[in-house]
Structure 1
Amino acid sequence: MDGVTTAGVRATARIEAREDGRGGTSLPVLEGQGPLALRRVRGSGPEARVMLVGAMSGPLGGDHFTVEARVGPGARLRVGSAAATIALPGQAKGEARYDVRLNVADEGELHWLPEQLISAGGSELSVAARIDLGTDARLVFREEQVLGRVGEEPGRLTSRLTVRRDGRVLLDQELACGPGAPCGWDGPAVLAGHRALGQLVVVRPEFEHEQPAARPLGEHAALTPLAGPAVLVTALASDALALRRLLDAALSDLT
């Protein structure tokens, strides 16, 4: 663990995936600290699979967690999590932070498919995901957030997602929800009272030649082409299960 201080826990998890020369993917770096435990699980074909296993509650107020993954040329990596992440209020003052840093080289492929992030009442969490892709990199990135547990008002949640390809920005967006967020976050133009929100980013080199067209995906979901070989699916739902169904259907259609 990076350390435990009066300001909270500092912890980092690192994954590095490389093509092993035999048609598979090796994991020369698989390091988890404190609450960020990593486990390799059985994969299929050339793909390596890693599960993020929460070893303790959190993030709590004042904590700072970081997850980093690097996928080399020709490597294929799939990352999931064993359970939802729950942001909780803690004894330490201040906002908690959860940073995700992903880098996929040319000809590499990453499927980032964690379980939901739940913003519990009284918590304050800032989530930032930064993704850097090579020219022919492939990506499936899913992000799901649930505002509050059953019968509970949400905590304060700020989420930013930035995706770059060859240094060029494909997507850079931020959303703040809960107490202290800008007025209107729960209004008809933003969440409209829904408590589960998610997005799916799919980057495939073949989209350069034939990109899916913009279209609605039901009443509260839509597919939007990005300025590159990429599409963004955004969705709102009443709960986590309905949200997952929407995103799973969209992913099945795209792949």
Structure 2
Amino acid sequence: MPGAGRATHADRRSAYRVRAVARVHARPDGRGGTALPVLEGEGPLALRRTRGAGDAARVLLVGAMSAPLGGDHLTVAADVAAGARLSLGSAAATIALPGATGGEACYDVELRVADGGELVWLPEPLISAAGSELAVTTRLDLAPTARLVFREEQILGRAAEQPGRLSSRLTLRIGGRTVLDQELACGPGAPGGWDGPAVLAGHRAVGQLLVVRPEFADAPVPAMTVGEGCAVVPLTGPAALVTAVAPDGLLLRRALDVALALVERPATPVR
């Protein structure tokens, strides 16, 4: 769906009020586990390493203050080296708010995974509060034998309120080849029809999963529907996409969890 592109977002960055970057670099530790030589956050983006499972490192993004507010520019970047395994999540939902000065905020997610590396990105939902304006840009760059589980959940408005304006662009590249490049714009001022039967059909929760596995190149995940409002489609290359809409965040999470279990069989992601 048409919306603000990367160049437009970049042109507006000079006006952003708070700039903050969180960086994670994951590397094999030489003992069968994963080390984090870089684990640093700024401003509202605090990172905490928690107990992982097996040889995977687990990191939580913890909001140190309310963000993103109107005019903020936040970036989360993760780099997973060959043989490393990293699980990234968040301690709570992210709420986009209008802030005192208003204006558009920007949230960039940049994830890179080398051959033989594995990344699981399972944050809590993004909530678009009334009056907010947020542009989310996610870039996933994977080597040919990298592994990925990526979840994105967006809730349009809090209880009994209209959503803010939210645009979201997601790009997946595998081995330098673009496999997916899509954009969705919702809320006041978004292109007409975003809430109609061809897009969200009146639902206020929308989400997707990307699962990348080298074995999918030879055995693609079959297209299927998972209950009402959730579908799985194979992508060109070793990847599968799950998209879902639901009346609320709880039902959305349930649908995505069921779909992930179906897509992952017999593989099991790190937690």
Is 1:204–2:210 an aligned residue pair?
A: no
Distance 1:156 1:120 in 2: 9
Amino acid at match of 2:115: D
Quick check: 2:16–2:73 contact (8 Å CA) kept in 1? no
For these two proteins, the number of residue pairs brought into alignment is 251
Distance 1:86 1:192 in 2: 23
Give identity over the alignment, percent: 69
Amino acid at match of 1:101: E
Distance 2:126 2:173 in 1: 23
1:158-217 alpha-carbon deviations (Å, 9 max, x no partner): 000000011101100000000000000000000000000000000000001111111111
Residue in structure 1 matched with residue 127 of structure 2 by the alignment:
118
Structure 2 residue matching 1:8: 3-state secondary structure: coil
Quick check: 2:20–2:43 contact (8 Å CA) kept in 1? yes
Q: How does 1:1-255 map to 2 (within 5 A)?
A: 7-255=16-264
* More strand as a share of residues: 1
Distance 2:249 2:199 in 1: 18
TM-score, scaled relative to structure 1: 0.97
Amino acid at match of 2:99: G
Shift of 1:7: 3.9
Unaligned runs of 5+ in 1: none
Shift of 1:252: 1.3
More moved, 114-123 vs 91-100: 91-100
Structure 2 residue matching 1:253: 3-state secondary structure: helix
Quick check: 1:7–1:93 contact (8 Å CA) kept in 2? no
Structure 2 residue matching 1:101: 3-state secondary structure: strand
RMSD: 1.0
Shift of 1:254: 1.8
Q: Decide whether aligned partners of structure 1 residues 120 and 209 sit closer, same or farther in structure 2, where only a CA change above 3 A counts.
A: same
TM-score, scaled relative to structure 2: 0.91
Distance 1:100 1:83 in 2: 17
Unaligned runs of 5+ in 2: 1-13, 265-271
Residue in structure 1 matched with residue 5 of structure 2 by the alignment:
none
Quick check: 1:216–1:223 contact (8 Å CA) kept in 2? yes
Structure 1 residue matching 2:18: 3-state secondary structure: strand
1:84-117 alpha-carbon deviations (Å, 9 max, x no partner): 0000001224210000000000000000000000
Residue in structure 1 matched with residue 11 of structure 2 by the alignment:
none
Shift of 1:243: 0.4
More moved, 205-214 vs 67-76: 205-214
Amino acid at match of 2:94: T
Structure 1 residue matching 2:222: 3-state secondary structure: coil
1:37-78 alpha-carbon deviations (Å, 9 max, x no partner): 000000111100000000111100000000000000000000
